[in-house]
């Protein structure tokens, strides 16, 4: 089946930028999402990008999409301790009901 892959762990210092990477294999992927999950909670939609876009910026968050390489990244500027969570990359094609998730990247922010 089609896969979505992420590195499992990322550790940064407070105030630094975090970059979480994701790769996917489905060339028909049309929509790509980033979700945040804090301990014991559900998934919070952070941002999403359509495949006809290269970049999307929303306050401290910047999403970059390289469609040729099927690579998606989420950059968090000025990372705070409250950003510590698991970040899931997910992708979906237009005619597919199934949203395919990566395994999640656990971001740890050290003071």
Partner 1 sequence: DAMVIQNPRYQVTQFGKPVTLSCSQTLNHNVMYWYQQKSSQAPKLLFHYYDKDFNNEADTPDNFQSRRPNTSFCFLDIRSPGLGDAAMYLCATSRGLGDQPQHFGDGTRLSIL
Binding of partner 1 at residue 31 (CB under 8 A)?
yes
Query: Binding to partner 1 by residue 48, rule CB under 8 A?
Result: yes
- Which one of the spans 15-23, 36-44, 54-62, 63-71 is the region binding partner 1 (CB under 8 A)? 36-44
7 lies in the binding site for partner 1 (CB under 8 A):
no
Give the residue, chosen from 88, 105, 107, 109, that forms a contact with partner 1 under the rule CB under 8 A: 88
Nearer to partner 1 by C-beta: 12 or 99?
99
Are 104 and 37 in contact by the 8 Å Cβ rule? The answer is yes
Based on the shown chain and the rule CB under 8 A, indicate whether residue 40 belongs to the binding site for partner 1.
Answer: yes
Instruction: Output the six-digit token pair for 59.
Output: 């306050």
List the one residue out of 11, 14, 26 whose CA is nearest residue 101. 26
Query: Which residues, in sequence order, are CB contacts of 42 under 8 Å at separation 6+?
Result: none
Q: Mask of contacts with partner 1, 11-30, x by CB under 8 A?
A: -------------------x
Q: Which residues pair with 4 in a beta bridge?
A: 24
CA distance 21 to 95: 25
Decide if residue 35 touches partner 1 (CB under 8 A): yes
């Amino acid at each position: 089946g089609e896969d979505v892959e992420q590195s499992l762990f990322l550790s940064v210092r407070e105030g630094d930028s975090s970059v979480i990477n994701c790769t996917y294999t489905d060339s028909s992927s049309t929509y790509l999402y980033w979700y945040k999950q804090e301990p014991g909670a559900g998934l919070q939609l952070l941002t999403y990008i359509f495949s006809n876009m290269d970049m999307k910026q929303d306050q401290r968050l910047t999403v970059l999409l390289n469609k040729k390489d099927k690579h998606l990244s989420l950059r968090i500027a000025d990372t705070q301790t409250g950003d510590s969570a698991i970040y899931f990359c997910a992708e979906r094609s237009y005619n597919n009901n199934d949203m395919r998730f990566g395994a999640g990247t656990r971001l740890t922010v050290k003071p």
